[in-house]
């Protein structure tokens, strides 16, 4: 198989990473809400921002299940050379 065929196959199966894009929209919305809250302590605000960003992988897994995309490919092109 050609590398371009593998690339397009993986792109189609994972729906071009749409699950990560949708999950990041939710995360950036949560970060925006945290920074708009009237928190005076910068350390608390930074901790809440960190907590918001830790849910990226589980949230993108959930979104990929909802949209029917493959979360990660099992067989990569570099394995079957």
pLDDT at residue 17 in the model: 87
CB–CB of 27/55 below 8 Å? yes
pLDDT at residue 72 in the model: 81
Identify the CA nearest to 68 among candidates 10, 14, 6, 7: 14
Please state the pTM of the whole predicted model. 0.78
* Residue with more model confidence, 5 or 34: 34
pLDDT band at 2 (very low <50, low <70, confident <90, very high): confident
Query: Domain map of the chain by residue range?
Result: 3-67
- How confident is the model over 8-34, as a mean pLDDT? 92
């Amino acid at each position: 198989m050609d590398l371009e065929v593998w690339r397009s196959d993986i792109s189609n199966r994972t729906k071009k990473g749409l699950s990560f894009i949708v999950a990041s929209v939710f995360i950036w919305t949560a970060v925006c809400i945290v920074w708009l809250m009237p928190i005076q302590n910068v350390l608390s605000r930074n901790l809440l921002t960190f907590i918001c960003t830790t849910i990226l992988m589980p949230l993108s897994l959930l979104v990929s299940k909802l949209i029917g995309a493959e979360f990660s490919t099992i067989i990569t092109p570099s394995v079957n050379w």
